[in-house]
Amino acid sequence: MFKIAILGGGVVGSGVADILIDKSKALSERFHKDVSLAYILDIRDMTGTKYEPYYTNDKEVVFSDDDVKLIVVTIGGLDLAADFCRRALKSGRHVVTSNKEVVAAVGRELTLLADENNVRFLYEASSGGGIPIIRPLNLCLASNDIYEINGILNGTTNYILTCMYQDRLSFDVALKNAQAAGYAEANPSADVDGYDAARKIAILSSISYGKFVDYNDVKCTGIRDVIYDDHEFAASAGYAIKLIAGSRNTDKGVTCTVEPKLVPKSNMLASVNSVYNAVLVKGSYTGDTLMYGQGAGKLPTASAVVGDIIDILTDANKQALPGFVHNNAVVIEDTEACDKYYVRINVSYDNESDDIKDAVIKCFGDKALFLGASLSNHSIVAFITEKCTAADFTAKLDAFCDITGAKAEYKLKVID
């Protein structure tokens, strides 16, 4: 008897239930075990729904059943979900979770706890939703030294940015549309301010580099200050604006950021639109490897959860403790890195366009790209600099503003 309990019957939890109800017979036949969904624990009343046969609001019913071998934790938040994970692991049960907050905050504690109790703690759905990424990092790409990760890891922000450009919308209107479509929460801060993506890139970086990256150390900038004109300018120069979660493993430490960037149309990430996500991994042998798919949603995320359940049923991929359990990353800011910068400025009508262009060339060099004025507001002007360090960029921008009297309203790094 291999009973499964789901703690949290919300969007993801109910999706996992749907798949298990549909596939329990096939799983039982494939793995020669009596696999079945036994319980769905939730504070909401599920009587009168198709989940009623599995519903309970009493956690003790779940934990007192010795035939429950695996617990799926799909409730949100940190404290209660983490406590459920700890209790399940200590009782000798496998745990699968989609909760990125738990994995980012206490994932290595739970990994150790699982090892001590000879069970497994898996979390494929925590970082890419329906995109297979953690298992490929642990298995398919294991021979590689992974040295860089860049990804679009939040479907909500990607949907908003896509709508802003395609439908010529402001951020506020695009956000309301995302909320109406069910892609954004009533309080969207975790998504639009980059915290959700920060947790995900911290998890992926920890696995890839074998060193624990604390998500609190991830430098995070959201998308609230992006306006439609930024998309217009970016497109005119052959770029798309994306919220990029990125990290790089260097001799000095790990750089780890979440920030909007201009991505060239030649880059695979530039064509990832709407709620789709993608992760671009750079390995010593494979070079660039792209994983792409729906990063959120009921069934895509549930599919990743059930993939972990199947991994446990096969008992084929149990590995040694990952390096991040014992090693801490030194998260640094790479002050020596040279980047191009996109700058949006506000100028007075007294300034001629040629004067602004001349000032851009004077301050930033003849390789700087002057993008002109916005079609909808001629006081909004933009340009892209040549490569320079952050310190050099700040000094040159200050000089430019002094010369022109312009106000620098927004700046973004450009992926070259």
Q: How far apart are CA 286 and CA 277, in angstroms?
A: 21
Q: How far apart are CA 72 and CA 76, in angstroms?
A: 12
| Largest pairwise CA distance in the chain | 79
Residue in 100, 200, 261, 340 annotated catalytic: 200
**Residue listed under structure tokens 């217009």:** 232
| Angle value at C-alpha 33, between 29 and 36, nearest 5 degrees | 90
HSE of 146 in the Cβ direction (CA atoms, 13 Å)?
Answer: 27
Query: What SS3 state is found at 339?
Result: strand
| Angle value at C-alpha 264, between 259 and 267, nearest 5 degrees | 95
Q: How far apart are CA 39 and CA 215, in angstroms?
A: 33
3-state helix, strand, coil in the chain (%, to 5): 40, 25, 35
**Residue listed under structure tokens 């309301």:** 176
Of 85, 10, 82, which is closest to residue 43 (Cα–Cα)?
A: 10
Is 200 an annotated catalytic residue? yes
DSSP readout, 237-305?
TTEEEEEEEEEEE-SS-EEEEEEEEEEETTSGGGG--TTEEEEEEEETTTEEEEEEEE-SSHHHHHHHH
- Give bridge partners of residue 56 from the DSSP assignment: 41
Any idea which residues carry the catalytic annotation?
200
